[in-house]
Structure 1
Amino acid sequence: MTDAGAPSTLRSDARRNVDRIRVAAAEVFADRGLSAPLEDVAAAAKVSKATIFNRFGGRAGLVDAVIDDVAAKELLEIIGHARTISDARGRVRAYVGALRDLQYRSPAVNGVLLRQVPGSEALMDLCREGEAFHAELVAQGRAAGVLADEVTAGDLHALTVDGALALEHGGRPPRADYDRRTGFILDGICRPG
């Protein structure tokens, strides 16, 4: 990223451009995902695509600048909420259900889960945090006898990626069908109880 990280050093018109780009990127990415064309962000911000590159260095820098608003806050809230649930079964069910709900509502979250912008340090940090939580959740679930012994953190990660791919490339099914399938996933990984 060039000078977008230090807005106080920018001329007022350049500072306004940076602010407009951030707002436009957050809106476009939230609505259409992290792979939305930068031309669309530029058009929404009423700047040239070159201005995005000059101020943010490209897609990765732009994603770094807006990831909190389009994905990180909600993903981290889901993890934080799951950690407050003392019952292991409730924790697994709440986390998987909330994550799948967020995936259904947020194309940007699916872009994070699919690591669509590997050059974004903030995105990759978020992925690592999610993977660490998956390992924690699976270890706790297996220790409590809630999850089948065969379930691994990699399996949980793969299920989230599978959901992201289906939503990204297959479209959004009716909500009732999607929720029913979430139940199938939970019934498949959790032991009866």
Structure 2
Amino acid sequence: MAPYEPATAGRSLRSDARRNRARILAAAEQVFAAKGPAASTEEIARRAGVGVGTVFRHFPTKEALLQAILGDLAARLAADTESLARDGDPATAFFTFFTSMVERSTSTKTVIDLLAEADIPITLAKPVETLRRTIEDLLEGAQRAGSVRADVRSAEVIALLIGVCQAALYADWAPDLQDRTLAIVFDGLRPSR
């Protein structure tokens, strides 16, 4: 999947500029995941193999770079989630998605930031809305299949995701603790037998 690119004023990038932009985004995602938003632009440029000026030509501010990373992540998550909703078994796809989000969050806080984003910049509105809509689709499919309680709403699912993802990231859960915790959460989401 191509990196998320917000609308530019009717201009397209040359192929070398597109490659540089993609390398900058990949490097920035790794650096920010490891060091947080205080990471330096110089380190991102070094990791991407470009000059700092190239970074600033594509992203005039660090905030613009962070938004581009979030947009790229939202687009990837939305595409993965749409594929799961379309091709997965409705009875298990919701739980597969939830587990995948927790696993992704343990490697980067960006997933949590994206889920918790309340004041979405206009450049991120479409991919974030697509992700949220697809979460609702997965939830509704699981409810129709009888694997999730009918009274669960998407706002509650997102609240649970944020909480579990934050705990997994900040407490550095071992895999067995993550599995046991998810089993308890999933038991609470399933209908009573």
TM-score normalised per structure 2: 0.70
1:90 maps to which residue? Answer: 92
1:176 maps to which residue? Answer: 176
Ranges in structure 1 where 5+ consecutive residues have no aligned partner: none
Aligned 1:3-22 pairs, distance under 5 A: 7-8=13-14, 21-22=24-25
1:186 CA displacement: 1.0
Aligned 1:122-161 pairs, distance under 5 A: 122=124, 124-161=125-162
Instruction: Name the structure where helix makes up a greater proportion of residues.
Output: 1
- Give the number of aligned pairs: 182
Cα distance change, pair 173–70 in 1 and its aligned pair in 2 (3 A): same
2:3 maps to which residue? Answer: none
Contact 1:59 1:117 in 2 (8 A): no
Matched-pair identity in %:
19
TM-score normalised per structure 1: 0.70
Cα distance change, pair 137–101 in 1 and its aligned pair in 2 (3 A): same
1:23 CA displacement: 4.3
2:189 maps to which residue? Answer: 189
2:103 maps to which residue? Answer: 101
Of 113, 116, 119, 1:114 maps to 116
**Cα distance in 2 for residues equivalent to 1:74 and 1:131:** 10
Contact 1:92 1:141 in 2 (8 A): yes
1:158 CA displacement: 0.8
1:118 CA displacement: 3.6
Q: Which amino acid aligns with 1:186?
A: F
Cα distance change, pair 92–42 in 1 and its aligned pair in 2 (3 A): same
Q: Which amino acid aligns with 1:43?
A: E
2:43 maps to which residue? Answer: 43
Q: Alignment RMSD, CA only?
A: 3.7
Q: Which amino acid aligns with 1:165?
A: Q
Further displaced range: 101-110 or 173-182: 101-110
Mapped pair 1:57 → 2:60? yes
